[in-house]
Chains A and B, each alone.
Chain A
Amino acid sequence: MSDSLIQEGTEETPDVQFDRTANVFKISGRSYPENAMEFYAPLISWMESYGENPNPVTNLVVDLEYFNSGSVKQVFKLLYAVEDILETGKEAKITWCYKKGDELMLQKGVEFQKFLDIPVVLQEG
């Protein structure tokens, strides 16, 4: 596994910054690709292999502005991969960002909070 996965965002896909050395894990921007599974598969598998030997503390920041339902499902799988880190005994959490007044993004964050065992911190910004 490479130490980092960095991708610039496009009109339909988010910025990806997965960096083990800098201990930064973030996706941000827009996410409505035609095939969300195809876009997220490498992200999920990167996170799974990182999770086998993670840093002492991992914080995945999700900061999406617009997204489609297909992406939500894939993001969920990505969060699952982060949740698995907890089994190694290391610390991990999710920071879910939403803009003030963005009920939709907040709703998604609250849902994930309920569905997952890993702490999901909702952060208004």
Chain B
Amino acid sequence: MQAYQFYSKLKNDAFSLIYMGEFDDELTGLLMRIQETSTGEDRSMKKRMSYLIAECFQNIIRHSDEEKDHDIDLTSKMFMMRSQRGTHYLASSNPIEKSNIAKLSESLESLKNLSEEELRKIYLEALGNNVLSEKGGGGLGLIEMARKTKNPPKYAFESINEQFANFFFQLMLDTEGKEKDHLEINDTIELYEEMVNSNIVLLRKGDFSQESILPLFQLFESNLQLKKEDLVFKKKSLYILIELLQNMNRHAEVIDGNKEGLFTISFKNGIYIMETGNFVKKENAAKLKEHIDSLKGLDKKELAKRYKEQLLDDTVREDHGAGIGIIEMFRQSDGEIMYKFTDVNEHYSFFTLKATL
């Protein structure tokens, strides 16, 4: 189980969203919505972020070089959004041909030392010139991103093989003007590698209120390879996803005004693993533990019986779950449900729930 490990790693993030996989325009809209429903920024900031997300995405879609013979690994492209101490970061990673590195570096370097006024001039020139690169971007996107963030983008290239390198690109929007403790491009590369090693295709940290989890259902439904799966699997996995996230929504303790938690989906060899992690009060942990343990090792028939009991039981407050959600998770996941409590301090435990599909 990895939820706590990633939670600790991202503990300073008020919000994080990392997506690994295939990129298309539909996804752009979804991730914008996740951003809009999740961060507590004012409208102009959200608009600016949305704009940059779109640009960042266009960049990934437009400039990824694909290996023709065999597909580059599914997880090789990344989009990342993080907010830390009032500063927002957008980062992307995609494979490019090494022969394109020199040209790309040159355009990026040329933007680094320009003032706002100079950037504006270059932008207008690029617009007027109508000189577009074969990929249709013409550097306008890069110039615009530099203008909107008021910070030069950070970037790096990491070799994949003889022909390809991963292009890491990172933007910073500084809302509070604090100059220290900023995330560097190396932090992003490191995180990317951990994501790849853990086979994570989606990670989301922050607030898990109903409003912010709804777009995640849509994201899961329309992306993450699920389109290719059969209907039975699709339905079951979405059902379990809904239960997991709403379970977290119901039981997570509110920390600093947020229902703080972390959620990951991993995908490897056709198996999906979903994990949620959130804080629970220690006195509630024992009850939760007892409930889950009582379901372990039950066969389908016994689980169905427990389900029926809960369904017919009118004394429990069903709006608070009453454990029926966890019974359903056990019933519908043919894999397994695992859990873990990690001691955090004298009041709270970190509760990880893991479903394998």
Contacts and interface: CB of A to CB of B under 8 A. Distances in A.
B186 interface: no
Interface in A7-29: 11-12
Given A34-B210, A70-B325, A102 B242 contact: no
A102 B231 contact: yes
Contacts of A46: none
Interface in B290-334: 304, 307-308, 310-312, 317-319, 321, 324-325, 327-328, 332
A99 B311 contact: no
Contacts of B319: 35-38, 70
B235 A34 contact: no
Given A12-B210, A69-B324, A115-B311, A34 B318 contact: no
A111 B328 CA distance: 13
Contacts of A34: 210, 246, 249
B308 A115 contact: yes
A101 interface: yes
B311 A66 contact: no
B242 A76 contact: no
Contacts of B235: 66, 102-105
Question: Looking at chain B's contact residues, is the secondary structure mostly helix, strand, loop, or mixed?
Answer: helix
B230 interface: yes
B231 A70 contact: no
Contacts of B332: 104
Pick the most buried of B217, B311, B317, B321: most chain A CB atoms within 10 A of its CB.
B311
A90 interface: no
B324 A12 contact: no
A12 B241 CA distance: 14
Contacts of A6: none
A11 B231 CA distance: 20
Pick the most buried of A36, A72, A76, A105: most chain B CB atoms within 10 A of its CB.
A72
Contacts of A35: 319
B239 interface: yes
Pick the most buried of B230, B249, B319: most chain A CB atoms within 10 A of its CB.
B319
Nearest to B313: A73
A4 interface: no
B242 A32 contact: yes
A32 B304 CA distance: 21
A76 B231 contact: no
Nearest to A41: B319
A68 interface: yes
Contact of A32 (B231, B246, B307, B310): B246
B271 interface: no
A61 B314 CA distance: 24
Contact of B232 (A12, A38, A67, A103): A103
A115 B235 CA distance: 23
B324 A104 contact: no
A64 to B, nearest CB: 11
Contacts of B231: 99, 101-102
A61 B328 CA distance: 24
B63 interface: no
B13 interface: no
A35 B312 CA distance: 18
Interface pairs A-B: 3 shortest CB-CB: A34-B210, A37-B319, A101-B231
26 contacts: A12-B210, A32-B217, A32-B242, A34-B246, A35-B319, A38-B319, A67-B239, A69-B321, A69-B324, A72-B324, A73-B318, A73-B324, A74-B318, A76-B311, A99-B231, A101-B230, A101-B231, A101-B232, A102-B232, A102-B235, A103-B232, A103-B235, A104-B235, A104-B239, A111-B308, A115-B311
Given A68-B242, A102-B232, 5 more contacts: A66-B235, A67-B239, A68-B243, A73-B318, A115-B308
